[in-house]
Structure 1
């Protein structure tokens, strides 16, 4: 993990995410790409070039002043930072930056249970979480020292999850975290305990670098509730799951489960794209 993208609107929640990004950067000797989308009028974002130059300079001046204030915070000292200002719409700018800078991890701030607000509202949340080519770590609260001791990875443990699982294992190993592999059983998709155990054991059998871990089968009324309730029960530091592009999560993850978890979980959530 050498390149971390932190999109910021300079909100309190963005600062929470930046504090976590700084902690990760310090632990991994990584660079933070701190990106702000200029709050320009919609006609400029749509390609109108008639905006007066003084107005453009004013937006840039405000952004630079905010960057200076951000960089003066104690937790940013000694961190390698590349600052970038974009005039794209939020989702487009994030997607382009991931590819342009070959980003390893995106860290985003989120507020409340209604999703990622301000520059990350509505469809931007869904698009970034579901389709980003890099893992996305969503932070909601102020975390003084980001450390992961118990990492819940929820999956249906089918073959198309293997590449995602490798990324989750690497992330867990970077913290020497205990990995809790979670299969959620629901009434609509009931699987016997014996069948679920065999599926999980067969899935992890080929992983030599799998560190400390446990497998869990948890019964609940929905997948989302199962993940949230189990994570609460063990006081997990992080919840991980896969995304499946615009089709939602593979197999047992249906519809909007990824963004629902991001919206409702008070704990940090990391998603990995299949």
Structure 2
């Protein structure tokens, strides 16, 4: 059984991520923990005035959150009666990433699925601060769903490797589970700074071939192109349905999501982005 964490602020963006999760895990035994996080600093004078005299603002906010979660879990249970799903609501009054960390640890979460929660363009999504903080600070795989993205069968999955990455089987389960379940073709893309092939890179490719021997896979590389631009172009040309990667270094996160001083290009995902940890 899988334990999946679904953070929600009851927005259309978070609801869309939940809808994706319902489709993504079809025919699997799953417990979905739906988490709503309330932050004390958000509640000002209006909340104080609106709260009943016999209760605190804190308790009033928590009660409202619990009611909304109860409605949502009942609705999802009703809509997925043909699936082996169970749903549990969690309300927390905390810093967003701290609440996520606590839930991941206490509920033994296998994967966090959340919306991008940032500004959007016609075909692109900018990552919001909550999403980036979870990617940075939470030790759990994260699947980020672009706003408005509707589930499609995962025919082709991209596994992106940074030039400084070295192959390690630890943390690969979410990717392997996905391509195995959907019988996806796997495109392995190496983002390189130059055409030099090192011994370590040669060894990595050999290990990757062996590791994915039972999965239809191909190798690709793009040289001397900013990572964000290289991936975005590849996703469009190769009709990618999901992009998976490890993000291990803070410097790469900054360069990838915000753009370097030289490129000024930040990553804006068109397809679900699976962030793995090892």
Q: TM-score range by the shorter chain?
A: 0.7 to 0.9
* Structure 1 contact 220–226 (Cα < 8 Å) conserved: no
Q: Is residue 18 of structure 1 aligned with residue 30 of structure 2?
A: no
Does the residue aligned with 1:85 lie in a helix, a strand or coil? strand
Matched, 1:80 2:83: no
Give the secondary-structure state (helix, strand or coil) at the position aligned to 1:271.
strand
| Separation of aligned partners in 2, 1:96 and 1:177 | 33
Match of 1:257 in 2: 256
Q: CA RMSD in A?
A: 3.2
Is 1:177 matched up with 2:181?
A: no
Moved more, 71-80 or 253-262: 253-262
The TM-score normalised by the length of structure 1 is 0.79
SS in 1 for 2:153: coil
The answer for unaligned runs of 5 or more in structure 2 is 45-52, 260-264
Q: Partner of 2:234 in structure 1?
A: 230
In 1, Cα distance between equivalents of 2:54 and 2:99: 23
Counterpart mapping for 1:133-152 below 5 A: 133-152=139-158
User: Is 1:271 the equivalent of 2:275?
Assistant: yes
- Contact 2:158–2:188 (CA<8 Å) still a contact in 1? yes
Map of 2:220 onto structure 1: 216
**Counterpart of 1:60?**
62
User: TM-score of the superposition, structure 2-length normalised?
Assistant: 0.78
162-171 or 78-87: which moved more? 162-171
Deviation at 1:208, TM superposition (A): 5.8
* Alignment partner of 1:103 out of 89, 102, 109: 109
Query: Cα–Cα, structure 1 residues 12 and 74, in superposed 2: closer, same or farther, change >3 Å?
Result: farther
Q: Distance in 1 between matches of 2:60 and 2:267?
A: 34
Cα pair distance change 1:194/1:39, threshold 3 Å: closer
Question: Structure 1 pair 213/66, CA: closer, same or farther in 2 (3 Å)?
Answer: same
Cα 1:262–1:171, aligned 2, differ >3 Å: closer, same or farther? farther
Q: Structure 1 unaligned segments of length 5 or more: list them.
A: 45-50
SS in 2 for 1:27: coil
Q: Secondary structure at the match of 1:70?
A: helix
Q: Counterpart in 2 of 1:129?
A: 135
